[in-house]
Amino acid sequence: MNETMIYLDDPAYFGIWGKIKIDQIPMFRTWLCSEHNISKLTAHQAFTQYVKHGELTQIYVDYGWLEIPHLLKNMPDFVEPDTSVAAVSTINPSRSAKFCSEH
């Protein structure tokens, strides 16, 4: 009997959020335009408000869970160290409930 392996897709898609270094906003904008195929104006309008207020900004969108560890270990230089957070793509970790480190 010949068995076939079946692999299921991830049940959800995840994104990675991080804080952008203020002095790296131009680099971030250029990266966004090439990575997501958007105009500089769109990148500026969509993300500058988050960056200037020091909020987490979505950097990667709609990746499977198995891809997340590699992306977290290889964040672009424009991301502040130790600010990266993985979450379901539709959830903004900056706007979610805060819990103490124990819970």
Summarised one tens digit per residue, pLDDT across range 36-66 is 888 888 887 777 777 777 888 889 999 998 9
Residue 92, in any domain of the structure: no
Strand order in 57-63's β-sheet?
Answer: 57-63, 14-18, 85-88
Q: Does position 76 have pLDDT exceeding 90, yes or no?
A: yes
Residue 71, in any domain of the structure: yes
**Residue closest to 28 by CA, chosen among 42, 11, 39, 43:** 43
**Domain extent for 62:** 14-75
pLDDT, position 97? 62
Neighbour-count burial for 27-64, b at 16+ CB within 10 Å, e otherwise: ebbebbbeeeebeeeebbeebeebbeeebbbbbbeebe
Q: Using an 8 Å Cβ cutoff, are 79 and 5 in contact? A: no
Instruction: Provide the number of structural domains found in the chain.
Output: 1
pLDDT, position 7? 52
pLDDT, position 10? 52
Residue 80, in any domain of the structure: no
Region 85-90: mean pLDDT is 87
Q: Does position 93 have pLDDT exceeding 70, yes or no?
A: yes
Region 76-80: mean pLDDT is 95
